[in-house]
Copies of this chain bind each other. A is one copy, B any other.
Amino acid sequence: MSAAASRWIRRLARFAALTLEEQRVLEEVASNSVFRHASHENVAKAGDPADRLLVVLEGLVYRYRLLPDGRRQILAYLLAGDMCDPRELLIPQVGESMCALGPAEIAMLSVNVVQRLERHPSIALAMARYSVMQQSITREWLINVGQRTAFERLGHLICELYVRLEAVGLTQDHMFDLPLTQAELGDTLALSAVHVNRTLMELRRLKLVTFQNRQVVIHDYAALQAAASFDPAYLVTQEKLRVSAENLA
């Protein structure tokens, strides 16, 4: 089945074994509240009341903050199957804006629905573990921007996106779509768009990665991983729990 919630279910299933009933519930609540957003449309704005849990079913959404003088830092990518932290419903306002890149399909779950979901033990467990991983990603980005060179940063981000997309079946071979401009990559990695461009050219020159026409092709994953000192440990739940194959398909 390629139903609305399939990426989401697949993502959560990496963090706890979900029963068929639990998968059905996720599917149901997701398909009941689908919104479609156009490219570059704001999905949420800083200061909005935090009364809806956002789940990205398809597309790419990013969370960002603007400084008063226009500088922008992208804080997180929410890929297909990603969601916000349910605990953010416990505070009055959302802290940062979110924006869709390319058309996106988003489920907005009410507090009641989330509470209903969390009564399923494996769903609650999966969401909690998943949120811990999201925090790890933010920390890794801090390390990225703080300590790594432009070259390593870009390589590291590409490795991360590859692993995250692979987990929900959005890669073929070592390729994936990435509807980002170089300027947006710059605001993610704290580099100027010009420098992103030069660094991408360097990656291409070394036959590691090509990024053209919104598509990333990793030519030599092992070398890229080494060059960026990428260690995917922060992305995986160390217990290799999987939902059984027939449930995913």
Contact = CB atoms under 8 A, between A and B. Distances in A.
Contact of A75 (B85, B90, B91, B143): B143
Given A138-B142, A142-B73, A190 B68 contact: no
Contacts of A75: 139, 142-143
B233 A190 contact: no
Going nearest first, the 7 A-B pairs with the smallest beta carbon separation are: A146-B190, A71-B147, A73-B143, A92-B238, A73-B146, A145-B146, A87-B128
A93 interface: yes
Given A87-B132, A233-B95, A65 B239 contact: no
A16 to B, nearest CB: 9
Interface residues of A, number: 39
Contacts of A85: 132, 135
Interface in A83-129: 85, 87-88, 90-93, 95-96, 125, 128-129
Given A67-B229, A71-B148, A142-B142, 12 more contacts: A65-B143, A67-B143, A68-B229, A71-B147, A73-B142, A73-B146, A75-B142, A87-B129, A87-B132, A95-B139, A145-B190, A147-B190
Contact of A147 (B73, B146, B148): B73
Contact of A125 (B68, B73, B90, B190): B90
